[in-house]
Amino acid sequence: MFKVRMIARIMGSALVALLLIAASPPNSAVAQTLMNGAGATFPYPIYSKWFDEYIKVDPSVRFNYQSIGSGGGIRQITERTVDFGASDGPMTDDQLKKAPGELLHIPTVLGAVVATYNLPGNPKLQFTGELLADIFLGKVTSWDDDRIKSVNPGVRLPKTPIVIVHRSDGSGTTYIWVDYLCKVSKEWEGKVGRGTSVKWPVGLGGKGNEGVAGQVKNTPGAFGYVELAYAITNKLPAAAIRNAAGKFVEASIESTTAAAAGAASNMPADFRVSLTNAPGDSTYPIASFTWLLVYKDQPDEAKGKLLVKFLWWAIHDGQKYTADLLYAPLPMPVVKQLEAKIRQITFQGKPLLASR
Amino acid sequence: MSEADARRGGGSQAVSLPRAFFIASGRNVWGDRLFQGCLYAVIALFLAIMVGMVGALVVESLPAARRFGLSFVFGLEWDPVQESFGALPFIYGTVVSAAVGMALAVPLGIGAAIYLAEVAPFPVRAPVGFLIELLAAVPSVVYGLWGIFVLAPFLRQWVEPALGSTLGWLPLFKGPPYGVGMLAAGLILSVMTVPFIATVGREVLLAVPNTQREAALALGATSWETTRVAVLPYGRSGLIGAVLLGLGRALGETMAVTMVIGNRPEISASLFAPGYTMASVLANEFTEATSDLYLSALVEIGLLLFVVTVLVNALARLLVWTVGGAVKGIRE
């Protein structure tokens, strides 16, 4: 009998303790709102930096971002299981139609994709778009091909076969790369097309940037493509590419931002724009926005307010964190256009952002 | 303690302890029933999970199955842009990479098991066994990175040129040496499955009663003959289990294989050529697949992987049964 009473007392006090824990707020007096997001992996480093920094600006909001890939981000925002989605490629018209409300594309930062290679001494090389497409179509197979020689005068090129290395995983990086090849080569567009995964005419697949870079480093004569940030941190050789203005431009943060500036003059209202082969003398031609996806009419007033405040912060103050993480910031004209877009976000028709 | 208990315990000292326990507890029918019920519930849960998994795979893959029919299984093209999907290169890659892996891993793994259980001097057994077990604990992404940075360059520079110049007349060893490809995938798989086969195999052989060995030795058998005639046949079913466990791992391994196989959906007779497996294409393309048909095609690949795994396991058992018939005579 004594034992039973004892157990009952212990159970009782445990229950009280549990109730107390459940009733008290997690750590501070301010109730935190949790914002859920999911999508692209490419901007994950800058987004997590932003979420960390933004807590200092507004401690009442906490972000939970799952980098499950652009496809997953689009699916989850369409099903409204997250508060915002993220994608490296713009949604198609079909996908937008499936969403239960109007979705906005908010560009956040820019990324670029570079062509990297493994040759003796790794000389600086340059390529035209058509040449890149023909190499990836398997029509130019050796490094000492006349067409490569003619755009690289003075460079000694070996008689090594070209081994193409591409991404095997579905990826925004691939999308940007093939989107560019589609724009510069009718044959590529007809035979292969654009997508996060495509049917490669030739070559080997490496998983992730590290898989492609690893295979390029280990295979003499290899030729592949990786993200600009990855190429810079790993000191990979990167080719200069001839842009739409006919200039050979190397990939850098500045020449990537220039791609968006070049496109700003005729930016479509929904920002669903491809920046590959964009106009401008100093533009690097293989660049792209990455987007956050949000509903124009927010389902929850409190959350919607927090979200638009964050978006406003991201396109202004947030941009200063891009350089450290090797993303290209949005150019000023695009930020101005975006301000107007963020003001359009509403809750039941009422704008959520107080006019400033 | 009640008086009756004390009397019973004190009064019959001749009764052994376990027997006293059973007498004390009486014929506990309810305990048995409870135990049986728990077991049934666990088995039912397993079956339900299996049925649920297969059911979900079937339902999700219906759009692709309707669109492509049987040509999905035998189709050679995989084009996400045109939404034209065929799975044969992936099925081929899964089966061939696992076959290459097992061809190397079975003799090595069984050999290591025999060494550890029968031959090795006692001070060596524990440390070597521990090292082999440690291999099983290495994450597959580490094997994959090792594959890219160490194994593939080694294959490209030394092994593949050597094989090409000596055995190049075989279609298996034709073509340019890339390093990555079917051979690299098979090698990685063999390294990853050996510890499973060796560790389980060793436990199986250690469980063979010593009377088996003593009987063989008493008849004048050498230690190899003892192992072959008395130990291996006795542990046969356990060893088959060990091999099948390794085979399961080889068929389903994803990360390490993806990193070294070259990820090219093509069927090539040469082991130097890049290939692709079903598990790899799922890992590579599932996250970014946006259209419904594309997703459905990937789910159907998952279903096919399930079917192929069951078929290969069944075939392996059948093979062992028919071949094992000769050994059976000795055992009985």
Give the ipTM.
0.82
Instruction: Please report the pLDDT score of residue B290 as a whole number.
Output: 77
The DSSP secondary-structure symbol of B172 reads G
Number of structural domains found in chain B: 1
Whether B120 is in a domain gets the answer yes
Identify the burial level of A20 via C-beta atoms within 10 angstroms of its C-beta, where 0-12 means exposed, 13-18 middle and 19 or more buried. exposed
* CATH number, residue B198: 1.10.3720.10
User: Which helix (DSSP H) or strand (DSSP E) does residue A65 occupy?
Assistant: strand A61-66
Instruction: Please report the pLDDT score of residue B15 as a whole number.
Output: 63
Using the Cβ of B156 and the Cβ atoms of chain A, whether some distance falls under 8 Å is answered with: yes
Please tell me chain B's helix, strand, coil percentages from 3-state DSSP, rounded to the nearest 5. Answer: 80, 0, 20
For chain B, the average pLDDT equals: 89
Regions in chain A scoring below 50 on pLDDT? 1-2, 20-21, 24-29, 356
Distance from CA of A243 to the nearest CA of B (A): 26
Whether B69 is in a domain gets the answer no
Using the Cβ of A71 and the Cβ atoms of chain B, whether some distance falls under 8 Å is answered with: yes
Identify the burial level of B41 via C-beta atoms within 10 angstroms of its C-beta, where 0-12 means exposed, 13-18 middle and 19 or more buried. exposed
Determine, for residues B287 and A69 on separate chains, whether the beta-carbon distance falls below 8 Å.
yes
Which two structure tokens, joined as six digits, stand for B256?
């390490």
Whether B154 is in a domain gets the answer yes
Using the Cβ of A90 and the Cβ atoms of chain B, whether some distance falls under 8 Å is answered with: no
Which two structure tokens, joined as six digits, stand for A14?
């445990």
pLDDT class for B322, splitting at 50, 70, 90? confident
Q: How far is CA B12 from CA A144, B5, B17, in A?
A: 99, 11, 11
Task: Write the residue in B152, B259, B288 that is nearest to A197 by C-beta.
Answer: B288
pLDDT class for B320, splitting at 50, 70, 90? confident
User: Taking CB atoms and an 8 Å cutoff, what residues of chain B touch A215?
Assistant: 148, 152, 180
Interface A-B, measured as beta-carbon pairs within 8 A, has a size of 99
Using the Cβ of B154 and the Cβ atoms of chain A, whether some distance falls under 8 Å is answered with: no
Whether B16 is in a domain gets the answer no
Instruction: Please report the pLDDT score of residue A2 as a whole number.
Output: 46
Determine, for residues B156 and A163 on separate chains, whether the beta-carbon distance falls below 8 Å.
no
Taking alpha carbons only, the member of B285, B91, B104, B87 closest to residue B184 is B104
Whether B274 is in a domain gets the answer yes
Using the Cβ of B149 and the Cβ atoms of chain A, whether some distance falls under 8 Å is answered with: yes
Instruction: Please report the pLDDT score of residue A4 as a whole number.
Output: 54
Determine, for residues A206 and B263 on separate chains, whether the beta-carbon distance falls below 8 Å.
yes
Using the Cβ of A68 and the Cβ atoms of chain B, whether some distance falls under 8 Å is answered with: yes
Instruction: Please report the pLDDT score of residue B23 as a whole number.
Output: 66
Share of chain B above pLDDT 70, in %: 90
**Three-state DSSP string of chain A:** CHHHHHHHHHHHHHHHHHHHHHHCCCCCCCCCEEEEEEECCCCHHHHHHHHHHHHHHCCCEEEEEECCCHHHHHHHHHCCCCCEEEECCCCCHHHHHHCCCCEEEEEEEEEEEEEEECCCCCCCCEECHHHHHHHHCCCCCECCCHHHHHHCCCCCCCCCECEEEEECCCCHHHHHHHHHHHHHCHHHHHHCCCCCCCCCCCCEEECHHHHHHHHHHHCCCEEEEEEHHHHHHCCCCCCEEECCCCCEECCCHHHHHHHHHHHHCCCCCCCCCCCCCCCCCCCCCCEEEEEEEEECECCCHHHHHHHHHHHHHHHCHHHHHCCCCCCECCCHHHHHHHHHHHHCCEECCEECCCCC
Instruction: Give dist(CA B91, CA A244) in Å, integer.
Output: 43
- Contact predicate A35/A303, CB 8 Å: yes
Q: Is B79 helix (H, G, I), strand (E, B) or coil?
A: strand
Task: Write the residue in B148, B179, B287 that is nearest to A170 by C-beta.
Answer: B287
User: Taking CB atoms and an 8 Å cutoff, what residues of chain B touch A171?
Assistant: 288
Task: Write the residue in A95, A163, A171 that is nearest to B288 by C-beta.
Answer: A171
Instruction: Please report the pLDDT score of residue B291 as a whole number.
Output: 84
pLDDT digits (tens, 9 = 90+) for A22-35: 554 444 445 789 99
Which two structure tokens, joined as six digits, stand for B94?
């899964």
- Contact predicate B136/B222, CB 8 Å: no
The DSSP secondary-structure symbol of A330 reads P
Instruction: Give dist(CA B53, CA B223) in Å, integer.
Output: 48
Instruction: Give dist(CA A121, CA A157) in Å, integer.
Output: 10
Q: What is the CA radius of gyration of chain A?
A: 25
End-to-end CA, chain A: 72
Residue found by looking up tokens 């992404």 in the block: B141
Instruction: Please report the pLDDT score of residue A13 as a whole number.
Output: 58
- Contact predicate A66/A276, CB 8 Å: no
B296 pLDDT above the threshold of 80 = yes
Whether B240 is in a domain gets the answer yes
User: Taking CB atoms and an 8 Å cutoff, what residues of chain A touch B262?
Assistant: 204-205
Using the Cβ of B78 and the Cβ atoms of chain A, whether some distance falls under 8 Å is answered with: yes
Note down the domain range covering B94: 90-284+307-322
Q: Is B230 helix (H, G, I), strand (E, B) or coil?
A: helix
B120 pLDDT above the threshold of 80 = yes
What are the start-end ranges of the H helices in B69-121?
71-74, 88-114
pLDDT class for B11, splitting at 50, 70, 90? very low
Using the Cβ of B176 and the Cβ atoms of chain A, whether some distance falls under 8 Å is answered with: yes
Report the predicted TM-score, pTM, of the whole model to 2 decimal places.
0.85
Whether B46 is in a domain gets the answer no
Residues 6 or more apart whose CB falls under 8 angstroms from that of B14 comprise: none
Instruction: Please report the pLDDT score of residue B325 as a whole number.
Output: 54
Determine, for residues B81 and A71 on separate chains, whether the beta-carbon distance falls below 8 Å.
no
Phi-psi region for residue A269, left (φ > 0), alpha (ψ -120 to 50) or beta? alpha
Instruction: Please report the pLDDT score of residue B34 as a whole number.
Output: 93
Distance from CA of B316 to the nearest CA of A (A): 31
Instruction: Give dist(CA A83, CA A95) in Å, integer.
Output: 17
Distance from CA of A260 to the nearest CA of B (A): 25
Using the Cβ of A66 and the Cβ atoms of chain B, whether some distance falls under 8 Å is answered with: no
pLDDT digits (tens, 9 = 90+) for B38-71: 999 999 999 999 999 999 999 999 999 999 999 9
pLDDT class for B4, splitting at 50, 70, 90? very low
- Contact predicate A112/A228, CB 8 Å: yes
Instruction: Please report the pLDDT score of residue B9 as a whole number.
Output: 45
Whether B47 is in a domain gets the answer no
The DSSP secondary-structure symbol of A226 reads E
